[in-house]
Structure 1
């Protein structure tokens, strides 16, 4: 499992993120505080507090390095 912190502070970023993450098989979770949702769910993402960085957990995906490189634009500073 790998974890990274991402920022999805606009509707456009959320749509881009969901479209990208849905290209890959496997499990992806986003968490904010005590809430954890499926990162492939656009409705779930909008239920989180998007004003703060979110933790993305990537589980047992053989394409993990490729996914992380494509997610660079979403990484939280």
Structure 2
């Protein structure tokens, strides 16, 4: 489960990206730049992040949250 501080860090990093970042869970798609949208997801479940660009800071945050 993600902690509120981790969600905040993730959303802040996604917001700095100049490309779209989406989070998928089942049939729901949420804009990862929306803190309310992200908190509306069930953060205990496996979520899929999809994006079409590269930002080193975002990659670092995403890698820190990735569960293998």
Change (3 A) 1:65 1:42: closer
Larger RCO (CA under 8 A, 6+ residues apart):
1
Question: Where does structure 1 lack aligned partners over 5 or more consecutive residues?
Answer: 1-7
Say if 2:9 is the partner of 1:16.
yes
TM-score normalised by length of structure 2: 0.84
SS at match of 1:49: coil
Q: CA RMSD in A?
A: 1.6
Higher helix share: 2
TM-score normalised by length of structure 1: 0.75
Question: Where does structure 2 lack aligned partners over 5 or more consecutive residues?
Answer: none
> Matched residue pairs, number?
67
